[in-house]
Structure 1
Amino acid sequence: MQLEYVGTLGVILGVIARFWPTWLAIALVMGSSFYFKKKLGLYGQLFDSGVGIAGVGICLFWLFTAIFASTISPFNPLEQIVVMKDALPGAIEPATHKVFLFGGDKLARDVFSRMVYGSQIVLIIAPAATAFALMVGITLGLPAGYYGGRIDSFLSFLANLVLAFPVILLFYLLVTPGIMDTPIPYGMAGLFFLFPIIFFCTLFWTRFKKRPDRLYLLLGITLILGGWVYVGLVFDADPLGIVHIDPNQLNIFVAVVFASSPGVFRIVRGLTMDIKTRDYVAAAQTRGESPWYIMLWEVLPNARGPLIVDACLRIGYTTILLGTLGYFGLGLAPESPDWGTAIKDASRLLRSFIHPALPPTIALMSFVLGLNLLADSLREQSMKD
């Protein structure tokens, strides 16, 4: 069947039009941020530089694209329309007269829709894995830097042991499909997912131990919500069926947390060793505050600047890592629309058809670029403070 096509201008206008929910959401958020930037603290200061505005804009673009993916995408990312196999950008699907804006891939799926839905996978796994890595690194790095001695030596040895292992080989061992048949991923997930619960319970205990009414309320909320999420993620036993993660995603998630935590640990340890010598820490010690109170309420808030910058960069590293794993076939399921898998599928026919490889590649590059710009702007603001 002979396909009809729209011109280059039609493709460009079609792409712009499909992203209308994203443009609207960005305009609302950016406009409000500019108006209230003096009241928004560090976030508001990002709008004082072009780098910060560009970083926020790019990150918001992909965030809202992931949120409104079902509205933006004209097709299901897994839907195969045989006649559209390897169709060039701008091809019109005969039955519905919808346009394959970026063409079709070798399995006759819409490249544009797969790129859009791929953002959901990246923006779920990368920030969440980074957040858990921060929880693990902070929870272990604070006592290592504050107490020193044997505690520091033992925890630093474990961190250096993981860091000394080649990263690619480490991920190959942790993400290879056969490992899901063993209890290793679930055991590691059970360990890592405990850290946020321990962190927040300790945080509330040290702050409100003299106010039992508020303390018990916060501890109850933390244990109920934390236990609910924990049971759903580790045992896939959420009675409501809301909290769920596929085995492949769990495997990647655990691998990222395991590999990223030592880096966070070393940053937190170094910052703690420096901050614990400050006068306000000595004042807290003089007041008789407990070590964990000092670590969580005196040291950690004053280390937030470098940690926020590191978190932005680490999300970018994780995004690249997900793309690398997908390219090597060690990521998610083969039919997944994540950007790494899409690049791998398109690269096999790169000499004949280049159009399926470009959208996910540019998407991956632009998202990481936005995070790097955001991190650069945050670093500049932290240095000013």
Structure 2
Amino acid sequence: MQLEYVGALNIVIGVLQRFWPVWVALLVVMVPSFIYRKRLGLYGELYDNGVGIAGVFICLFWLFTAIFAASIAPFNPLEQYVVMKDAAVGAIEPSSGKVFLFGADKLARDVFSRMVYGSQIVLIIAPTATAFALMVGATLGLPAGYYGGKIDTVLSFLANLVLAFPVILLFYLLVTPGIMDTPIPYAMAGLFFLFPIIFFFALFWTRFRKRPRLLVIQLALTLIIGGWVYAGLVFDADPLHIIHIDPNQLNIFVAVVFASSPGVFRIVRGLTMDIKTRDYVAAAQTRGESPWYIMLWEILPNARGPLIVDACLRIGYTTILLGTLGYFGLGLAPESPDWGTSIKDASRLLRQFIHPALPPTIALMSFVLGLNLLADALREQSLKD
């Protein structure tokens, strides 16, 4: 069957039109943020220079793309249209009359829709895994830097042991398909997912221990919400069926947290060793505050600048890592629309059909670029402060 095609201008207009929810959301968020930037603290300061604005724009663009993916994508990312196999950019699907804006891949799936839905996988795994790694690293790095001695020696040795292992080989061992048949991923998930509960439990206990009524409420919410999320993620036993993670995604999630936590640990440890010598820490010690109160409410808030910058860069590294794993066919399901898997599928016929490989490649590159620009802007602002 001879396919019909639309022109280049119509393709550009079509892409811009498909992203209309994103443009509206960007206007609603960025315009007021720019106007009232003086009142928005660190976030508002990002709008004082072009690098910060560009970083915020790119990151928000992909965030809103992930949120509105169902409205943006014209096709199901897994649905196949046999007549559209390897169709070029701008091909019109005969039965529906819809345009394959970026063409179709070798399995006759819409490249544009797969790129859009691929952002959901990245935006779910990369920031969440980084947040968990920050909690694990902070929970262990604070006492290591504050107490020193044997605690520091043992924890630093374990962190250096993980860091000394080649990252790619480490991930290969952790996300190979056979590993899911063992209890290792679930045991690691059960351990790592305890850290947020421990972190917030200690945070509220040290802050509100002299206000028992408020403390009981805070701890009860921590245990209820934390236990609910823990049951859904580790045991897939969420009674409301809201929190669920596929085994393949859980495997990657655990691997990212395991590999990233030692780096966060070393940063938090170094910052703690520096900040604990400051006058305000000595003042808190003089008031009789507990060590964990000092670590969580005096040291950690004053280490937020470098940690925020590191978090932005770490999300970018995780995004690249997810793409690498997908390219090698590890972790996620073969039909997954994640950017790495899409690049891998397209690369096999790259000399004949280049169009399926470009959109996911540019998407991955632009998101990482946005995170790096955001980190640069935050670093510049922290130096000014």
Per the alignment, residue 260 of structure 1 pairs with: 260
Q: What does the per-residue CA deviation read over 1:79-138, in whole Å, with 9 as the maximum and x for residues that have no partner? A: 100000000000000011000000000000000000000000000000000000000000
Cα distance in 2 between the residues matched to 1:39 and 1:12: 37
1:235 has 2:222 as partner: no
Structure 2 SS opposite 1:4: coil
Task: Tell me what 2:101 maps to.
Answer: 101
How many Å separate the matches in 1 of 2:331 and 2:70?
23
Q: Matched residues in 2 for 1:244 and 1:216: separation?
A: 28
User: Which letter does structure 1 place at the counterpart of 2:198?
Assistant: I
Please state if 1:315 is matched with 2:324. no
Q: 1:333 maps to what in 2?
A: 333
Give the Cα separation in 2 of the matches to 1:349 and 1:318.
Answer: 27
The residue number in structure 2 matching 1:201 is 201
* 1:85–1:109 CA contact under 8 A, matched in 2: yes
CA–CA separation in structure 2 for the residues paired with 1:88 and 1:376? 38
Equivalent residue for 2:191?
A: 191
Q: Deviation at 1:240? A: 1.0
1:306 alignment partner in structure 2: 306
- Aligned partner of 1:247 in structure 2 is 247
Match of 2:351 in 1: 351
Specify the alignment match of 1:36 in structure 2: 36
Question: What are the superposed Cα offsets for residues 137-177 of structure 1, whole Å, 9 maximum, x if unpaired?
Answer: 00000000000000000000000000000000000000000
Quick one: distance in 2 between partners of 1:237 and 1:47? 43
Partner residue of 1:90?
A: 90
| 2:275 match | 275
Calculate the aligned-residue CA RMSD, in Å: 0.4
Amino acid at match of 1:222: T
Aligned-partner Cα distance in 2 for 1:75–1:266: 45
Shift of residue 46 of structure 1? 0.2
Q: Secondary structure at the match of 2:94?
A: coil
**Residues 112-261 of structure 1: pairs in structure 2 closer than 5 A:** 112-261=112-261
Question: Distance in 2 between the 1:18 and 1:235 partners?
Answer: 38
Query: What letter matches 2:67 in structure 1?
Result: I
Deviation of 1:331 after TM superposition, in Å, equals 2.7
Distance in 2, matches of 1:12 and 1:243, equals: 37
Q: Does 1:49 align with 2:71?
A: no
SS in 2 for 1:240: coil
* Partner deviation per Cα, 1:49-92 (whole Å, 9 max, x = no partner): 00000000000000000000000000000010000000000000
Counterpart-to-counterpart distance in 1, 2:240 and 2:67:
22
Name the amino acid aligned to 1:319.
T
Gaps of 5+ in 2: none
Counterpart code for 1:221: L
Name the structure 2 match of 1:66.
66
What TM-score do you get using the length of structure 2 for normalisation? 1.00
Aligned residue for 2:337, secondary structure, equals: coil
Secondary structure in 1 matching 2:220: helix
Q: Distance in 2 between matches of 1:120 and 1:39?
A: 31
For residues 294-318 of structure 1, give each alpha carbon's deviation from its aligned partner in whole angstroms, at most 9, with x where no partner exists. 0000000000000000000000000
Provide the C-alpha distance between the structure 2 equivalents of 1:34 and 1:10, rounded to a whole number of angstroms: 32
Q: C-alpha displacement at 1:285, in angstroms? A: 0.2
Q: Which amino acid aligns with 1:162?
A: V
Q: TM-score normalized by structure 1? A: 1.00
Provide the residue aligned with 1:367 in structure 2.
367
Question: What secondary structure does 1:5 align onto?
Answer: coil
Please name the residue that 2:8 is paired with. Answer: 8
* Alignment partners' CA distance in 2, 1:174 and 1:306: 29
Query: What is the number of residues matched between the two proteins?
Result: 385
Give the deviation of 1:279 after TM superposition. Answer: 0.2
C-alpha distance in 1 between matches for 2:28 and 2:51: 20
Distance in 2 of aligned mates of 1:331 and 1:56: 30
Poorly superposed stretches of 4+, deviation over 6 Å: none
| Identity between Structure 1 and Structure 2 (%) | 85
Structure 1 residue runs of 5 or longer lacking an equivalent are none
Looking at structure 1, the residues matched to 53 and 334 of structure 2 have their Cα atoms a distance apart, in angstroms, of: 36
**One-letter amino acid of the structure 1 residue matched with residue 66 of structure 2:** A
Kept in 2: contact 1:331–1:341 (CA 8 A) = no
- Alpha-carbon deviation of 1:32? 1.1
**Shift in Å at residue 239 of structure 1?**
1.0
Structure 1 CA distance, aligned partners of 2:331 and 2:384?
A: 40
